A and B are shown apart, each in its own frame.
Chain A
């Protein structure tokens, strides 16, 4: 599965906010082997993008996926994306249009509209959306080639609130790269997302706010690999009843 024509060995995307220090962040990026890091662009950022922090992020060698975090309208998101393209010299954009301040749920109507404008402008849009299939179709029609459904509200660490919805999404969009974005709290959540057949996991707080962010980054990378390998290995079906794992036929006759 390629993301806008780019093959990625690591299927863990890492956010760069809220770490105890840039040093810890860079170590977390390194041990996780992540190839894509998201950065949040705000007006303050664009004024000071030549400063040490951004230099450090560039030096990690990871591909930068700027986001439009905190944008609530189409216009805000489009302007932020255009600013990000200039500042970070990339046409990749993680598109967030927030509809609800408390749940940070995407405003899917504005999202589709912003995705259309940005795609026409040549952006490669990674939209933060819900697991709604119809919205997903509209996003593809708008020009998106990747979908990023939420696992749970941003920063909540609840894991996958609707695994059936994500499974349906996989079935409905078999050839579109799907990235679970937001809500991952523990390595088992990341593994579960990959076991559903999704293509990547994007997370931030789960690592940044862990007691040992570097240790958690390693664990998340391992979980993503485990889930991905497990899905590819075609897990056995669930059964209601026990099935002995040792052969019953040909048991030793003890008399």
Chain B
């Protein structure tokens, strides 16, 4: 062999050529698959939002058809902050622009939680009043609302995000135009125990929320997940046996997020008209 395989020049040349080839190949693969991957993520989000509405037309929507149906059913996208001020208001005619971070559709539920809510909660552990105060003064936290008009009724899809046993959990719930009755829900999770906590994303669990309300006698009363087998009132749903901590996480997330929406609907009666 003419080449000395152990020489420095050879080693460096080999490494350089390899890096160039591998880098080029990976960039090419990534570039060519990127549109499909982004479409997947976007369509899944649309699918989740549509499924949360809880009307027949959108219940079994697949990821493929979600894109087309989304514009048909969702007529308005609104983003509010903790104080209930509207920071972004778009109609179905405004295209979703990935650069517009305030567009309700571009609000990343997991990031809202891990970046803004979690630090406040863990730093002030145990001092609930302070947490409440800091959270409600924060203008960084955004809450998306998707408005769906269908059959003369208005539906408001709101969101919630929090922490399960292992990792983040989040979901969309649909509130009827009375501002307190739930019409449907969709939950998802990052890494709950498969077969236990992961059941929050199953239909039977999600469907339990239909018809429940988050208010009593005109005051906010959070929805809650109970131990399975208990007698349930109008605010409670059955939990998952063996997944106590996921249930606690769901409760915390629903209580914290829905309160904001409840107050918003209550203080802005013209919005739900």
Q: Do chains A and B interact in one complex?
A: no
Residues of B at under 8 Å CB distance from A? none
